[in-house]
């Protein structure tokens, strides 16, 4: 049986252990440019087998929250180079999560104050973050506009270019964010996609953008350096699908021949219950569908894992386990898991925005 602390090959990456730091938005990149403080934060956590960065927009249009870092401008690439060098100097591996928020944005964050974009002009009943009088503040999202058919190749191109930028920035790979109610997930799900063209309606058509993005990214940097994040039933950011099991069975079957490094599955509600009473889903059947289609990528599980749950997941066939909030407060989480604790408690008041407090000042074990 695999153990949490043994090395593992994941695509082109050789990882020291099976513990993954999940992507965690922290809103500490003013002007969308990564900072030296971020380099300290990530390098402190470099004993994880793999670090997945906070979600990182592939374009200005893809931004939905204030002070998140981008990966589409030269100064952003230069900022990330400092981060990746710091992580590599500490012996770690790091991939960047490529993000387009779609409708989960605000006019103030969009180029020229325009409307956020979406599969269909349906407003997300959720919040985003603006800086108001110097303070991160939750506000309602703005009314989106539906993307025109001829705009979609540009979205795909933005993901491809961001993947190339990631290589230039020194990342070991990328994770495509297709989860949590953001743009790709909005296209997948019936509640947010009411299109009647080639990108809406049937499962095959709703999955089209996802497949095009993955093909573009893997063609650019290789499948062995590409992962993808999926969330079949999370209600995050007001997304819902009428019948998610066949939808995601189709998605993973399409991904199987692409030789990806890993599939990152959020089980249940992001940051909430692992099982949702009115949204049942069979994750074991999903993994079986992927393997039956010839998929060999590492299977990463995520949502509320502790050591006991992680060990059981590995017994049940998972390859990697992602930990989120526990990495915020425990930079040396791998060693704390190995020892069975103790664990620092995260300060929720410092999750979003600010400086060192609640970011780089959590103590490590002696």
Which residue stretches of the chain are H helix?
36-44, 74-89, 152-168, 183-188, 203-206, 208-221, 244-255, 283-292, 307-315, 325-329, 333-339
Model confidence at 336: pLDDT above 80: yes
Domain 8-324 grouped into CATH 3.20.20.70: yes
pLDDT digit string, tens, across residues 9-67 = 999 999 999 999 999 999 999 999 999 999 999 999 999 999 999 999 999 999 999 99
Q: How large is the average pLDDT for residues 130-139?
A: 92
pLDDT in tens, 194-206: 999 999 999 999 9
Q: What is the mean pLDDT of the chain?
A: 97
Answer whether residue 134 shows pLDDT above 90: no
- In this predicted structure, the answer to whether residue 108 has a pLDDT above a threshold of 90 is yes
Residue 1 has pLDDT above 60, yes or no: no
What is the per-residue pLDDT for 267? 97
Residue 233, pLDDT > 70, answer yes
Q: Catalogue the active-site residues.
A: 182
Q: What is the pTM of this model?
A: 0.98
Please, what is the Cα angle at 344 between 231 and 329, to 5 degrees?
50
- Which residues have C-beta within 8 Å of that of residue 164, sequence separation ≥ 6? 220, 221
Over the stretch 216-231, which tens digit does the pLDDT of each residue have? Answer: 999 999 999 999 999 9
- Would you state the pLDDT for residue 140? 97
% of the chain beyond a pLDDT of 70: 99
* The Cα angle at residue 39 between residues 103 and 27, in degrees rounded to 5: 30
Q: How far apart are CA 317 and CA 331, in angstroms?
A: 27
């Amino acid at each position: 049986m695999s153990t949490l602390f043994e090395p593992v090959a994941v695509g082109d990456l050789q990882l020291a252990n099976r513990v993954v730091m999940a992507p965690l938005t922290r809103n500490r990149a003013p002007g969308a440019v990564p900072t030296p403080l971020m380099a300290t934060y990530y390098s402190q956590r470099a004993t994880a087998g793999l670090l997945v960065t906070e979600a990182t927009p592939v374009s200005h249009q893809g931004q939905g929250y204030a002070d998140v870092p981008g990966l589409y401008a030269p100064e952003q690439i230069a900022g990330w180079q400092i981060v990746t060098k710091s992580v590599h100097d500490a012996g770690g591996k790091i991939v960047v999560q490529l993000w387009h928020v779609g409708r989960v944005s605000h006019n103030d964050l969009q180029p020229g104050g325009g409307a956020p974009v979406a599969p269909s002009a349906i407003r997300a009943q959720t919040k985003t973050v603006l800086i108001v009088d110097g303070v991160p503040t939750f506000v309602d999202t703005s009314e989106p506009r539906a993307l025109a058919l001829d705009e979609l190749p540009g979205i795909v191109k933005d993901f491809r270019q961001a993947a190339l930028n990631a290589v230039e920035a020194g990342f070991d790979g990328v994770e495509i964010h297709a989860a949590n109610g953001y743009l790709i997930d909005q296209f997948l799900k019936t509640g947010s996609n009411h299109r009647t063209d080639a990108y809406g309606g049937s499962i095959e058509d709703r999955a089209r953008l996802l497949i095009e993005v993955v093909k573009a990214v893997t063609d650019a940097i290789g499948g062995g350096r590409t992962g993808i994040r999926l969330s079949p039933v999370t209600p995050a950011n007001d997304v819902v699908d009428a019948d998610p099991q066949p939808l995601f069975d189709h998605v993973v079957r399409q991904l199987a021949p692409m030789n990806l490094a890993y599939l990152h599955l959020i089980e249940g509600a992001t940051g909430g219950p692992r099982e949702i009473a009115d949204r049942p889903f069979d994750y074991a059947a999903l993994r079986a569908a992927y393997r039956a289609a010839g998929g060999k990528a590492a299977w990463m599980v995520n949502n509320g894992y502790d050591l006991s749950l992680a060990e059981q997941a590995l017994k049940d066939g998972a390859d990697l386990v992602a930990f989120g909030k526990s990495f915020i407060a425990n930079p040396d989480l791998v060693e704390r898991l190995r020892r069975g604790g103790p664990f620092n408690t995260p300060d929720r008041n410092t999750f979003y925005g600010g400086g060192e407090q609640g970011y780089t000042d959590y103590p490590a074990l002696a």
